Amino acid sequence: MSPQDTPQPPALARAVLDRAAELRHEPGLLERLRSEPGTRVLAVHGDRAPLRAGRLHLVAADEIVGAVHWALLARADDGHAVLLAATGARDEPPVELTDEAAQWSSLRAVGGDLDAEEAGLLVEAVALARWLVDAPFCPACGGRLVPRAAGWSRSCPDCGREHFPRTDPAVIVVVTDPAGGRLLLGRNALWGERVLYSAFAGFVEAGESLESALVREVAEEAGVAVSRLDYRGSQSWPYPRSLMLGFTAVAAEPGQARADGEEIIDVRWFTRDELRAALDGAGDVELPGGASIAHALIRDWVSGQVR
């Protein structure tokens, strides 16, 4: 296979960052790094970060204003630290953007356009920020948690438990017909008037395997029994804290496909030509954005990299 024939991982899963985890337990680490001149900060406001000319716009630690959540994100190639400074979407932003060319942009909207390293850094930052902002209290006793490990864990001073950022596994799947010439996608009720079709997805329930969750979700949402499950890759999707596990599967009886009428309001079989047109922005339907694993699953099938 030539390089262009090799399926690319989903957009947010192409980089292996140096998270410098061995530093996290150094006492006073974040204070020390904040005072080092080479340290840069990725400000996160909800799911948005500053972008300038298509790149992440990192700032100096002394540009951060107000009460923010701090954490160590990574060690850059030059050896300097990259820190997170996060606030919630309803709070004030952690930095005032004085550069007119910089603007707040969401992971969902721009994650597919960033280079691999920056996409990986942004998804790490948004996922950690979400936990730091949304889960300030101990789930066991209600005590207010105290940050530990440079933002990567928190302990409860009342009951002593230690807590870590949670990740919820979710399966996502594109379904082909047995001949491999058509792909089944669904239109979700949440998307309203938009004629947007995407892969089928759902959370893995308690006590369930990935495979069982996938078979159950497709049966519930699209009415078909599937087999020949093929794992395609994963990526974090912090909306609010999912790990999306991507698969392809084959429908036993394509003619039985029908929407559940609640979560999914329509299902439709597409040819490669129809989806190629939609990926190019032509045709009558919209497909999920480039940051999503659904986009990668559809793109790989269209390009013939998946049966």
Closest CA to 188 of 266, 95, 82, 83: 266
Of the listed pieces 58-66, 142-150, 271-279, 284-292, which binds Zn ion according to CB under 5 A? 142-150
- Compare residues 17 and 135 and give the one whose CB is closer to Zn ion: 135
Report the distance separating Cα 169 and Cα 237, nearest Å.
Answer: 10
Of the listed pieces 101-109, 130-138, 180-188, 292-300, which binds Zn ion according to CB under 5 A? 130-138
Q: Is 149 in the site for Zn ion (CB under 5 A)?
A: no
Report the distance separating Cα 253 and Cα 241, nearest Å.
Answer: 34
Shortest Å distance, C-beta 163 to Zn ion: 9
Report the distance separating Cα 65 and Cα 231, nearest Å.
Answer: 44
What is the footprint of Zn ion within residues 150-189 (CB under 5 A)? 156, 158-159
Shortest Å distance, C-beta 160 to Zn ion: 7
Residue in 42, 84, 138, 294 binding Zn ion, rule: CB under 5 A: 138
Torsion of CA 247, 251, 255, 257, to 10 degrees: -40
Residue in 7, 9, 88, 143 binding Zn ion, rule: CB under 5 A: 143
Report the distance separating Cα 33 and Cα 18, nearest Å.
Answer: 16
- Compare residues 60 and 159 and give the one whose CB is closer to Zn ion: 159
- The end-to-end CA distance of the chain, in Å, is 15
Residue in 60, 140, 190, 225 binding Zn ion, rule: CB under 5 A: 140
Shortest Å distance, C-beta 230 to Zn ion: 42
Residue in 21, 141, 190, 252 binding Zn ion, rule: CB under 5 A: 141
* Start-end of H helices in the chain: 29-34, 107-110, 116-134, 210-222, 272-279, 293-302
Burial of 77 (0-12, 13-18, 19+ CB in 10 A): exposed
Instruction: Mark residues 219-238: x for contact with Zn ion by CB under 5 A, - for none.
Output: --------------------
Q: Is 145 in the site for Zn ion (CB under 5 A)?
A: no
Using only C-alpha atoms, what is the Rg of the chain? Answer: 21
Shortest Å distance, C-beta 25 to Zn ion: 21
- Compare residues 36 and 162 and give the one whose CB is closer to Zn ion: 162
Shortest Å distance, C-beta 138 to Zn ion: 3
Please name the amino acid found at residue 106.
S
| Residues found near Zn ion in the complex (CB under 5 A) | 138, 140-141, 143, 156, 158-159
